[in-house]
């Protein structure tokens, strides 16, 4: 099978820990071939969704900490997306309008016979923070609004809350507002752009000190290990990008309960790979754009996460 990765520029990837690279390696090990393209390489010509993609191969034994772990095997060529055995949308956020346009083109390509994962419409229709509202029974008390009075009332009711932008990633823009917060007005004014931008507020979950767990759902099934991203001392964000430390651990009974509820519903929508963020007993985000943590879990537990993905992709394209 010829697999196309729509991805960020390869030289920017940290191949030694990148989940997309782990996917590539698992696919190549099974005899599949690869091409890569940037988001901007997608185009529509006379109604046909096409891509200018470059075929690559992985360099056996390469140092994944360097930049020579792949090489081109031919010149970039234009081709309809429907000619590939699978198209993997692995472009990292930000989820901006260019990303939205890409999901529209990928959706049109699916109508023309392309097999796209994650499903383009499903990616677009599952904003990663807002998506938890579909599973409100699994989430901590949550408010989504740009109304300052509502945000202040929510804070007064719960006393200790987390506020964050809806389009942030890597822990950016997240604030903890405790019972006494002298900068409450300034923080809310900044995040909402004086009431012009919608944000999310959630009751603070003290179990964050034990880690913000990433639970991977692949092909409708949960990987049996989560990566608990444990915050630095004095920090409320467990994101690895914010200095959190990743510790792999078996799924708890509650983790499995959550996965059993969420996984089948999302898999039916064509979401082949999903990353649930879970703190304590609560889901805090549903990541569908480019879920990560494959390598960290595999290295610490020996479980072949990328192999599980490759099996799921083969099954989905059969």
Residue range 165-172: mean pLDDT, rounded: 82
- Whole-number Å distance between alpha carbons of 59 and 170: 30
Distance of CA 309 to the CA centre of its chain: 14
pLDDT digits (tens, 9 = 90+) for 93-144: 888 899 999 999 999 999 999 999 999 999 999 998 999 999 999 999 999 9
Q: Taking CA 178 as the corner, what is the angle to CA 177 and CA 183, rounded to the nearest 5 degrees?
A: 55
- Whole-number Å distance between alpha carbons of 41 and 173: 31
The pLDDT of residue 235 is above 70? no
Tell me if residue 174 falls in helix, strand or coil.
Answer: coil
Q: Assign 231 a pLDDT band (cuts: 50, 70, 90).
A: confident
Residue 312 pLDDT: 98
Q: In terms of Cα–Cα distance, which of 184, 260, 183, 195 is closest to 224? A: 260
Residues, the chain: 318
Tell me if residue 280 falls in helix, strand or coil.
Answer: coil
How high is the mean pLDDT of the chain? Answer: 95
Residue 95 pLDDT: 84
Indicate the range of 65-69, 108-112, 216-220, 304-308 predicted with least confidence: 65-69
The pLDDT of residue 174 is above 60? yes
The pLDDT of residue 170 is above 90? no
- Whole-number Å distance between alpha carbons of 94 and 59: 30
Q: What is the number of alpha carbons within 13 Å of residue 43 lying toward its C-beta?
A: 10
Residue range 279-302: mean pLDDT, rounded: 96
CATH topology of domain 141-204: Dna Ligase; domain 1 (3.30.1490)
List the chain domain ranges.
2-120, 141-204, 208-304
User: Among the CATH numbers 3.30.565.60, 3.40.50.20, 3.40.50.2300, 3.40.190.80, which is that of 2-120?
Assistant: 3.40.50.20
pLDDT digits (tens, 9 = 90+) for 25-67: 999 999 999 999 999 999 999 999 999 999 999 999 999 999 8
Sort strands 142-145 and 116-117 into parallel, antiparallel or unpaired: unpaired
Token readout for 185 is 């007005």
| CATH of region 208-304 | 3.30.470.20
Q: Do domains 2-120 and 208-304 have the same CATH topology?
A: no
Distance of CA 204 to the CA centre of its chain: 22
Token readout for 86 is 């699978």
Q: Which residues are catalytic?
A: 129, 164, 214, 229, 237, 277, 285, 287
Distance of CA 74 to the CA centre of its chain: 30
Residue 289 pLDDT: 93
């Amino acid at each position: 099978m010829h697999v196309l990765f729509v991805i960020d520029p390869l030289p920017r990837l940290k191949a030694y820990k990148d989940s997309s690279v782990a996917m590539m390696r698992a696919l190549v090990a099974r005899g599949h071939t690869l091409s890569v393209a940037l988001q901007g390489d997608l185009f529509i010509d006379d109604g046909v969704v096409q891509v200018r993609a470059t075929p690559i191969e992985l360099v056996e034994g390469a140092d994944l900490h360097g930049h020579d772990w792949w090489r081109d095997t031919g010149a970039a060529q234009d081709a309809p997306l429907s000619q590939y055995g699978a198209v993997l949308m692995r472009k990292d956020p930000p989820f901006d309008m260019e990303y939205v346009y890409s999901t529209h083109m990928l959706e049109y390509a699916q109508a023309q016979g392309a097999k796209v994962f994650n499903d383009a419409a499903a990616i677009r229709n599952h904003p990663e923070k807002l998506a938890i509202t579909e599973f409100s029974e699994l989430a901590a008390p949550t408010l989504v609004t740009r109304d300052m009075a509502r945000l202040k009332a929510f804070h007064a009711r719960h006393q200790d809350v987390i506020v964050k932008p809806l389009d942030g990633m890597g822990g950016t823009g997240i604030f903890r507002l405790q019972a006494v917060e002298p900068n409450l007005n300034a923080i809310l004014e900044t995040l909402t752009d004086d009431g012009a931008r919608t944000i999310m507020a959630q009751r603070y979950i003290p179990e964050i000190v034990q880690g913000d767990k990433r639970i991977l759902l692949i092909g409708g099934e949960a990987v049996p290990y989560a990566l608990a991203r444990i915050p630095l001392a004095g920090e409320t964000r467990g994101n690895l990008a914010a200095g959190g430390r990743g510790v792999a651990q078996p799924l708890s009974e509650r983790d499995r309960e959550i996965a059993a509820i969420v996984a089948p519903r999302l898999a039916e929508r064509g979401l082949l790979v999903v990353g649930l963020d879970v703190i304590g007993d609560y889901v805090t985000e549903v990541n569908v754009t480019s879920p990560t943590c494959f390598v960290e879990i595999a290295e610490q537990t020996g479980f072949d996460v990328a192999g599980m993905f490759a099996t799921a992709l083969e099954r989905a394209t059969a």
